[in-house]
Structure 1
Amino acid sequence: MVRFKKRYLVVEVVPERREGFRWAGLQAAVVSAIKKIHGDFGVAATTPGFSVRYHNKGTLVAFISVGRGAHRLVASALPFITQVGEQPATVRSLHIAASMRHGFIFLQKYHEKKLKEMEESLSPAEMQRWQQAKQAALI
């Protein structure tokens, strides 16, 4: 028996309003976009192994699991998502990983990079408060 290989798409969901955002419609929104772009063939090709495996409310990041090969169809349909559930939102593809572990490794580096960018944009007074908050969190 042959192993079913998967790919994990690390995506960032950017809703218009963050409060009241519900993750329940993400999978349906992706399937709808695939059907709109690739038709019945796309839906049939991506259905085996397709699911939303992980989502984080704080960072608005989700992992979408799909079979290898069909991940290209899913990735090409993501920019066409305009609503998740009933709320207007966009979905940005950040990374394609072969395992969830490698997806989380990428995510850690991505967040560290974003944090450094944010720190560079702070004024000196804000930077001092930020450093104090980081020290307090480490204690």
Structure 2
Amino acid sequence: MVRIKNRYFLCELVFEDAIWRALAVNNQHLYNAVKDAVRQIHGDYGAAAIAWGLNVKYLNPDTGVMMIRVRRQNQKILSTTLPFIKSVASFPVTMRTLHISGTIRSCQKFLVKYNRRQLVVLLRQCRTKEERQKVRESIRRCTLEQEEEEFGDGALEDT
């Protein structure tokens, strides 16, 4: 039996008008936008090729991060199409590909590291002491020591 191999694209949606982010986007809007863009760039062949395995697996409207699954043999079709998506649900948007992986787990690991780096960037941009303290607390919450305190000292060790 043959295993079907997939690729997972971790992308970030950058909205021009951030106010509508939470209201405007859902998985179906993103699926339709990707499918229409593939049809426009690669024609009927591209649309038919990705139709079988295309799926929006994850969407966080607050951060604008999404994960798209596609069959491995069609990853080039999707990767060449994503930069040309200019609107989702009639709202102007820019898509940035953050990571491409073979498993959801490695995308999740990358996303944790990426979010930690973004918190450090936010810390540098803080202007007041209160903002700085909130960001520092967020950074502390996403460290390993905090997880050990929640689950006990030996919970994270290999047994």
| TM-score range normalised by the length of the shorter chain | 0.7 to 0.9
Percentage of matched positions with identical amino acids? 34
Cα distance in 1 between the residues matched to 2:130 and 2:3: 52
Structure number with the higher helix fraction is: 2
SS in structure 2 at match of 1:69: helix
Cα distance in 1 between the residues matched to 2:75 and 2:30: 16
- Please list the CA deviations of residues 52-87 of structure 1 after superposition, one character each: whole Å capped at 9, or x if unmatched: 011112211111000002011101100100110121
Larger radius of gyration: 2
- Equivalent residue in structure 1 for 2:46, among 42, 58, 69: 42
Q: 1:1-139 to 2 correspondence within 5 Å?
A: 1-18=1-18, 19=20, 20-23=23-26, 24-123=28-127, 125-126=129-130, 128-130=132-134, 134=138
Q: How many residues align?
A: 139
Unaligned runs of 5+ in 2: 147-159
Unaligned runs of 5+ in 1: none
Change (3 A) 1:48 1:120: same
Change (3 A) 1:123 1:39: same
SS in structure 2 at match of 1:94: strand
Cα distance in 2 between the residues matched to 1:22 and 1:56: 9
More RCO (CA 8 Å, sep 6+): 1
